[in-house]
Structure 1
Amino acid sequence: MSAEEKRVWIYAVIAIGVPAVYFTIILRQVPTTDVTQIAYVWPLLTAIGIAIAVNVVASIVTAIASPKEANLKDERDTDIHLYGQRAEYYVLVIGAVAALGLTLASFEHFWIANALYLTFVLSALTSSIVKIVAYRRGF
């Protein structure tokens, strides 16, 4: 497994784990609390910060564990990265349109912010899954 593929796996695990915790904490409050009263801003920013920090640390640990592979990147890695990014853009566009629709329909900021966060999460997962499949099966 190349260093780039390891990074993709790390990114995928983080893109599942951190948002799962965030959404569990926040959405658990929806049935009992008015969404205008839910304090979601700091947990959302914390989740984003944790995801970034864990991704950086995990990538550094991976590079330290196999230093000879750390900076190796070939044409296949570049092509797979671009292939994953193309798939990611479609998800981002759909999510942005959905968030715009929520805004135009005058939904609360809570729903708009969480829809945007979910869009970023789904785009990261889409990119990761497409890349993993490309590494494993080709494209």
Structure 2
Amino acid sequence: MSYDEKNAWVYAVVAIGGYAGYLAVILDRAQGVPLSTVAYVLPMILAVGAAAVASVVGHLVIAAAWPTEAGRTDQRDREIHRHGEYIGSMVLAAGVLVALGLTMAELDHFWIANAIYLAFVLSALCGTAVKLGTYRRGF
């Protein structure tokens, strides 16, 4: 497994874990009240911040565990990264259009913010899934 593939696994796990933690907090707070009335801003900020920190820590752990591989990328790694980022960007663009539609429909900020957050998470997961699939199957 290449260094970049290991980092892709970290990114996927952090994206899933961060969003799952956020959802758990929001759904716990929504006991008996409409979702749109739940205080979501601080949990979302904390989830994004914790995911960023966890991602950095994960990448540092991989770099420390495999120091000879750290920073080594070849043409294949660069192409796989580019392809995954392209797919992730397309998913993000679709999510932004959904959030824009929610804004135009004048829905609560809760739904708009959560649509944007979900778009980022799905973008990360789709892009990473493409990268991991390409590492395993090739182009």
Contact 1:80 1:135 in 2 (8 A): yes
Structure 2 residue matching 1:68: 3-state secondary structure: coil
* Amino acid across the alignment from 1:118: L
Moved over 4 A (4+): none
TM-score by length of 1: 0.95
Correspondence for 1:10: 10
Q: Is the 8 A contact 2:40 2:110 kept in 1?
A: yes
The aligned amino acid for 1:89 is S
Q: Is the 8 A contact 2:87 2:127 kept in 1?
A: yes
Query: 1:35·1:108 contact (CA, 8 Å) conserved in 2?
Result: no
Where 1:33 maps in the other structure, the secondary structure is coil
| SS of equivalent to 2:33 | coil
Deviation for aligned residue 1:24: 2.0
Identify unmatched segments of 5+ residues in structure 2.
none
Shift of 1:103: 0.6
Q: Report the alpha carbon displacement of residue 31 of structure 1 after superposing the two structures with TM.
A: 5.8
Q: Which amino acid aligns with 1:105?
A: A
Deviation at 1:23, TM superposition (A): 1.0
CA distance in 2, matches of 1:101, 1:37: 20
**One-letter code aligned to 1:56:** V
- Percent identity over the alignment is 48
Partner of 2:65: 65
Contact 2:36 2:111 survives alignment (8 Å): no
In 2: Cα distance, 1:106 partner to 1:28 partner: 26
Count of matched residue pairs: 139
Q: Distance in 1 between matches of 2:31 and 2:106?
A: 20
Shift of 1:35: 4.0
CA RMSD in angstroms comes to: 1.2
SS in 1 for 2:32: coil
Question: Structure 1: which 5+ residue stretches go unaligned?
Answer: none
